[in-house]
Amino acid sequence: MTLDVEKTRRDTPGCGEVLHFNNAGSSLMPDPVLRATVEHLELEARIGGYEAAAREEEALELIYGATARMLGCGTDEIAVVENATRAWDMAFYSIPFEPGDRILTAQAEYASNFIAFLQVARRTGAVVEPVPNDEHGQVSISAVRDLMDERVRLIAMTHVPTNGGLVNPAKKIGEVAREAGCLYLLDACQSAGQMPLDVAEIGCDMLSATGRKYLRGPRGTGFLYVRREVLERLEPPFLDLHAAEWTARDRFEIRPDARRFENWETNFAGKIGLGVAVEYALDIGLEAIRERVYDLADSLRVRLTDISGVVVRDLGEERCGIVTFTAQGKSPDEIKNALSGHAINVSVSPPASTRLDSEARNLNEMARASVHYFNTGDEVERFCVTLGEVLSSAVSA
C-alpha cells in the first residue's frame, strides 16, 4: 500500500503544534480517534454513563474484532484492559509458579516486568534467568535453546525494548517455546502499531500492548491476547462479576474466553477510541507503516552521526522507530528541555528502566527520539539542525 503522509498529517491536529518524536512514549491521536473518544464522553455527560454504554454497544465491541484482525486471532482471545502493564500483569500473575520453575527473559527487559519476576520469585521459589545477547545485542536464540529444560515454565520477552531501536527475534523465540512446550509471554508495548504482529506466526501464548504509543489511541487503554488453548490453565489473579459468575453461595464460574482478564468498570470512551485507532492503523496497513517508520528512523540515525559529539546507542540486527543517543556537553534531560523550547518532543530513557542492559553497556540516561509514519524527512532535518544548534550553544557557553 502507498501511505498518504499528507492525509495522515491533516488527520493529526498535533502536527500543527509540535514536531513529535515521542511516539514510543505517547503518540499524537488522529482526529477520528479524538472525535470518537470525546463524543462518547459527551454522550455520557448528556444521558448517563450506563445509558451511553448501552446505546454504543456496537462501537464498544469494535475493538475486539479490530484487534483480532490485527493479531490474526479470534475475538474470544482478546481482553481490553486499562493499560499494557495491567494486561501483562494479568497474564503473568495468572501462571501458577512453583519452587524451581525457571523464567527466561531478556537482558533489556523492562523494569515493571522484571520487578514482577522478582516478586513472584520471592513468593514462590521460581528463578529468574536473563538470556545472554548475541553479537547484535539482541536475545541470542542459541542461548535460549541452551537454557531450555523441563523446569522452564515461562519465556517472557519484551519485543522492542524501551531504551533502543532493536527488535528482538520474537518468532524464533516462539519456535523454541513451542518445541519445549513452555508458555511464552510477549510484551508488544512498543511494537504494536509500528509493525505487523501475527500471533500464530510469532508463536506466543500471550501478548500485551498499549493503546497510547504506536497505535495512536487514548491513554489509559490496552489489550491482552491469550491463546485459546491455554486459557483454562490460567486463572486471573483477581476476579469480579464480569470475569466470573457467582453461581451459588459457595461457587463461581470463570468465563471461558479472554474477557476473564477484564473487569467490569473500564474507560468506555477510551475503549471506543482504541477500537477506532486500531481500525485506522489497519486501514493504512501495518506493512506500509513499518516501512515508513523504519526508513525515517534509519535516516535519523544517519543524520545524527553527522553531528559532532552525538553517539547513537541503538543495537539489533533489525531496528525500528526508536532512536536513542547521547551527546557531549548536555545531559539527555537538558537536551529534552532545550528541544521542548523549540516545540520538539523527545523523551529520556533512564538506566533504571532497563537496568541489566544499562549496566552491561555502562550507560546512563539516553535521549530517545521515536518517529512515526506521520513524521517527515523535513522534520528529521529540522530536528537534527536544532539539536546541533543546542549542542553548539552548550560548547560556546
Q: Are residues 103 and 230 in the same domain?
A: yes
Q: Does residue 91 form part of some domain?
A: yes
pLDDT of residue 395: 55
| C-alpha of 43 from chain center | 30
Tens digits of residue pLDDT in 221-240: 999 999 999 999 999 999 99
Residue 102 DSSP SS3: strand
Q: Are residues 61 and 87 in the same domain?
A: yes
pLDDT of residue 393: 80
Q: Are residues 93 and 131 in the same domain?
A: yes
DSSP annotation of 309? T
C-alpha cell at 288: 506500509
Cα–Cα distance, 385 to 355 (Å, whole number):
32
Q: Are residues 268 and 332 in the same domain?
A: no
Q: Does residue 214 form part of some domain?
A: yes
Q: Are residues 226 and 186 in the same domain?
A: yes
Tell me the pLDDT band of 380, cut-offs 50, 70 and 90.
very high
Q: Are residues 207 and 91 in the same domain?
A: yes
pLDDT of residue 302: 98
Q: Does residue 363 form part of some domain?
A: yes
Q: Which domain holds residue 232?
A: 32-283
Tens digits of residue pLDDT in 267-302: 999 999 999 999 999 999 999 999 999 999 999 999
Tell me the pLDDT band of 49, cut-offs 50, 70 and 90.
very high
Q: Does residue 381 form part of some domain?
A: yes
Q: Does residue 27 form part of some domain?
A: no
DSSP annotation of 153? E
Closest among 368, 333, 378, 25 to 165, alpha carbons compared: 368
Q: Are residues 306 and 331 in the same domain?
A: yes
Please identify, among 230, 261, 283, the residue that sits at the C-terminal boundary of a domain.
Answer: 283
- State how many domains the chain has: 2
Q: Are residues 47 and 138 in the same domain?
A: yes
187 CB burial (10 A radius; 0-12, 13-18, 19+): buried
Q: Are residues 383 and 241 in the same domain?
A: no
Please report, for the domain that includes residue 378, its CATH number.
3.90.1150.10
Please identify, among 249, 283, 317, the residue that sits at the C-terminal boundary of a domain.
Answer: 283
Q: Does residue 374 form part of some domain?
A: yes
Q: Are residues 337 and 249 in the same domain?
A: no
Tell me the pLDDT band of 396, cut-offs 50, 70 and 90.
low
On average, the pLDDT of the chain sits at: 97
Q: Are residues 381 and 275 in the same domain?
A: no
Angle made by CA atoms 33, 293, 20, in degrees to the nearest 5: 60
Q: Are residues 140 and 265 in the same domain?
A: yes
pLDDT of residue 339: 98
Could you tell me what percent of the chain has a pLDDT over 70?
Answer: 98
Cα–Cα distance, 87 to 97 (Å, whole number):
18
Q: Does residue 229 form part of some domain?
A: yes
Please identify, among 263, 283, 303, the residue that sits at the C-terminal boundary of a domain.
Answer: 283
Tell me the pLDDT band of 356, cut-offs 50, 70 and 90.
very high
Measured between alpha carbons, how far is residue 150 from residues 180, 181, 183, 220 in Å?
A: 8, 9, 12, 38
Please report, for the domain that includes residue 88, its CATH number.
3.40.640.10
Q: Does residue 58 form part of some domain?
A: yes
